């Protein structure tokens, strides 16, 4: 859902949604690749299957999905931003992933696939852009295009677990409490811990969920520093505009001379939630 606050989050793609430009998406993936792939490995993607990457961005997960399904499998992918879908398709051609991979532009709210097309769906860092009504619609679509007995796996960021050191331990909590008081992106970033309930409401069965704390300690890797200093700067600008703690000034300039993440005790964390459910057999559907 495009709300007025997305401009403040920055890094927009042609969709107007914050943090969807391929450069920031790629940076986040590189910073968190190991735990991201750990969660992907728990998503129920099997060799030989046909899997959909729903909200593929620039295609960072596509070679890993191709590796999971193997040469006997297939991967389809879709993204709302036309330029991201085009970049993902180009990367597939350049990387030769080892199985058929098809990329389209489109929306999760009306997927261009027949019923029961896929053995599994992987949806990463995408439902954070949907309001509650849109989320219910998207999950119904993911269920529709997945065969009975197949799996739907949704991974997203949990903003409750974002914190940075050294500094006020309540800095991010106070921001998300203030920004999440009204409908918009911040509130949707706080919804991830409830994904298991949304999957159950969508009619999925055997729903399981886990939350993973992703931590980065000084010295941060170049990839982690590049992403988190940029992300913190965007949040800091919003926090200061809301009249929150002056401690945000320390995070406002990514290349500032005394950036907290460059401190010997520098630290930043985020949460990631993975919720997985099974599409019931046709005889079990309402």
pLDDT in tens, 117-134: 999 999 999 999 999 999
Residue 256 confidence (pLDDT): 82
pLDDT at 7: 81
Q: Tell me the three-class secondary structure of 132-156, residue by residue.
A: HHHHHHHHHHHHHCEEEEEEEEEEE
Nearest to 151 by CA among 72, 71, 92, 68: 68
Distances (CA, A) of 258 to 100, 237, 249, 263, 279: 48, 17, 11, 7, 51
As a whole number of angstroms, the distance between CA 153 and CA 91 comes to 24
> Cβ distance 75 to 51 under 8 Å?
yes
On the question of pLDDT at 135 being above 60, the answer is yes
> Does 234 score more than 60 pLDDT?
yes
Q: What is the mean pLDDT of residues 88-96?
A: 94
Is the pTM higher than 0.85? The answer reads yes
Ranked by mean pLDDT, the top range of 2-6, 34-38, 93-97 is: 34-38
In the chain, what percentage of residues exceed pLDDT 90? 92
Distances (CA, A) of 283 to 114, 148, 149, 279, 286: 19, 10, 12, 11, 8
Q: What is the pLDDT of residues 200-214, one digit of tens each?
A: 999 999 999 999 999
Q: How far apart are CA 266 and CA 120, in angstroms?
A: 39
* The pLDDT of residue 4 is above 90: no
Give the CA angle between residues 154, 31, 162 to the nearest 5°. Answer: 65
- Residues 151-197: tens digit of each pLDDT: 999 999 999 999 999 999 999 999 999 999 999 999 999 999 999 99
CATH number (3.30.1490.20, 3.30.70.100, 3.40.50.150, 1.10.3720.10) of 6-279 reads: 3.40.50.150
- Report the pLDDT value the prediction gives residue 53, as an integer from 0 to 100: 98
At 1, is the pLDDT very low, low, confident or very high (cuts 50, 70, 90)?
low
């Amino acid at each position: 859902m495009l709300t007025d606050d997305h401009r403040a989050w920055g890094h927009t793609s042609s969709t107007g949604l914050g943090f969807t430009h391929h450069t920031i998406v790629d940076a986040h993936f590189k910073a968190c690749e190991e735990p991201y792939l750990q969660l992907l490995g728990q998503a129920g993607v099997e060799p030989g299957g046909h899997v959909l990457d729903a909200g593929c961005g620039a295609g960072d997960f596509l070679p890993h999905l191709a590796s999971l399904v193997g040469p006997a499998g297939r991967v389809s992918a879709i993204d709302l931003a036309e330029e991201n879908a085009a970049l993902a398709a180009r990367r597939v051609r350049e990387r030769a992933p080892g199985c058929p991979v098809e990329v389209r532009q489109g929306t999760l709210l009306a997927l261009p696939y027949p019923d029961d097309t896929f053995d599994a769906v992987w949806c990463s860092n995408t439902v954070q852009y949907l309001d509650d009504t849109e989320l219910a619609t998207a999950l119904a679509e993911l269920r529709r295009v997945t065969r009975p007995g197949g799996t739907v796996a949704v991974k997203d960021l949990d903003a409750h677990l974002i914190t940075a050191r050294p500094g006020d331990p309540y800095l991010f909590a106070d921001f998300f409490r203030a920004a999440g008081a009204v409908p918009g992106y911040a509130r949707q970033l706080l919804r991830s811990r409830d994904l298991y309930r949304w999957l159950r409401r969508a009619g999925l069965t055997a729903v399981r969920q886990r939350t993973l704390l992703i931590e980065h300690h000084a010295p941060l890797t170049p990839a982690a520093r590049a992403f988190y200093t940029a992300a913190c700067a965007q949040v800091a600008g919003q926090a200061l505009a809301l009249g929150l703690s002056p401690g945000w000034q320390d995070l406002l300039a990514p290349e500032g001379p005394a950036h907290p993440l460059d401190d010997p005790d520098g630290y930043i964390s985020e949460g990631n939630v993975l919720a997985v459910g099974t599409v019931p057999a046709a005889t079990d559907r309402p």
